[in-house]
Amino acid sequence: MNEGTLAEWLAADGAAVKEGQPLYALESDKSVQEIESPASGTLKIIAKTGEVYQVGHVLAEIV
């Protein structure tokens, strides 16, 4: 997989998130996956839903 479409955010911008909590749904050619938070903190969303992003692109920050 080289790219995917950000299907939806499962947590709101500015929300407190916990490590392991689903953050967003990522759609590839063959499936839709829920991606979990790698850490706990406050979510700052950078990327827009419906857009295609390359693997490794920063979609959000957790501070």
Residue 1 has pLDDT above 90, yes or no: no
pLDDT tens digits, one per residue of 52-61: 999 999 999 9
pTM: 0.89
Q: Assign residue 40 the CATH number of its domain.
A: 2.40.50.100
3-class DSSP assignment, residue 2: coil
pLDDT of residue 16: 98
pLDDT tens digits, one per residue of 21-50: 999 999 998 899 999 999 999 999 999 999
Number of structural domains in the chain: 1
Domain of residue 20 covers 3-62
> Nearest Cα to 49, choosing from 2, 11, 18, 20?
11
How many Cβ atoms from other residues are within 10 Å of residue 6's Cβ?
21
Q: What CA dihedral angle connects 5, 53, 20 and 29, to 10 degrees?
A: 40
